[in-house]
């Protein structure tokens, strides 16, 4: 009982730190979030923070883990639905729903990518593995839909790219991204392509 509570409290404290970190880093970027900021947000001392996380990289890695899992879950959930009751309308809805919080998720995604690129090799590998996992899953799915199997790989690369690229444009906020039109375009042509004679 006591252990349990102890464990729960630890979890809850580590969770608190994690959530605060995600919050601050999403807002201000990884580099612009100091451990002091995080400690203050959680109302603990920096010492305590170090008791739960042994370094800043540790926190970043945990954030990445959390983030990548969320994306994974969303993706596999999405693929699952396509498998069972695929309708173009549903797809549009799902995509739009996910895109609604793209700014929040997208920002941390970009920060993590940059962090990984700069020199955090462990993070880079972690993210890279996830990308491969996602693309492979997509390829498998596309294989079942598309008639020209030889194009499945290329298509999967393209799909991943499109999502990443749209995130960039969404964050830049230079012009409103027409998610609706884009979804329609994708659906339209994927339909046509499916029916194409090879």
Partner DNA sequence: GATGAATGAGTGTTCATTCAT
Partner DNA sequence: TATGAATGAACACTCATTCAT
The full DSSP string for 98-127 is: HHHTHHHHHHHHHHHHHHHHHT-HHHHHHH
**Which of 170, 139, 143, 172 lies closest to 157 in space, CA to CA?**
139
Residue 19 found at the interface with DNA (CB under 7 A): no
Rounded distance between C-alpha atoms, residue 114 and residue 107, angstroms: 11
Residue 89 found at the interface with a copy of itself (CB under 8 A): no
Rounded distance between C-alpha atoms, residue 139 and residue 155, angstroms: 7
Residue 160 found at the interface with a copy of itself (CB under 8 A): yes
Query: Is residue 41 exposed (0-12), middle (13-18) or buried (19+ Cβ within 10 Å)?
Result: middle
- Kindly state the smallest distance separating residue 70's Cβ from DNA, in Å: 24
**Binding-site string for a copy of itself from residue 30 to residue 59, where x marks contact by CB under 8 A and - marks none:** -xx---------------------------
Residue 40 found at the interface with DNA (CB under 7 A): no
- Binder of a copy of itself out of 77, 87, 178, 191 (CB under 8 A): 178
Report what 13 binds from DNA, a copy of itself, none; CB cut-off 5-8 Å by kind: DNA
Could you tell me how many residues make up the chain?
A: 198
Q: Could you list the residues that contact DNA (CB under 7 A)?
A: 6-7, 9-10, 13, 32-37, 44-48, 50-52, 54-57
């Amino acid at each position: 009982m006591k252990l349990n509570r102890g464990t729960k409290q630890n979890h809850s404290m580590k969770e608190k730190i994690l959530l605060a970190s995600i919050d601050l880093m999403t807002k201000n970027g990884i580099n612009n979030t100091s451990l002091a900021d995080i400690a203050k947000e959680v109302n603990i001392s920096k010492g305590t923070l170090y008791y739960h996380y042994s370094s800043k990289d540790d926190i970043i890695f945990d954030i990445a883990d959390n983030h990548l899992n969320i994306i994974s879950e969303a993706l596999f959930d999405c693929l699952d639905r396509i498998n069972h009751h695929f309708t173009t309308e549903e797809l549009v809805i799902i995509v739009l729903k996910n895109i609604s919080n793209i700014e929040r998720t997208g920002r941390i995604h970009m920060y993590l990518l940059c962090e990984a690129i700069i020199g955090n090799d462990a993070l880079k590998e972690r993210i890279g593995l996830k990308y491969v996992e996602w693309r492979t899953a997509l390829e498998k799915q596309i294989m079942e839909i598309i008639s020209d199997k030889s194009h499945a790989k290329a298509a999967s690369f393209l799909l991943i790219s499109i999502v990443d690229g749209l995130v960039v444009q969404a964050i830049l906020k230079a012009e409103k991204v027409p998610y609706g039109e884009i979804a329609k375009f994708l659906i339209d042509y994927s339909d046509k392509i499916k029916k194409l004679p090879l």
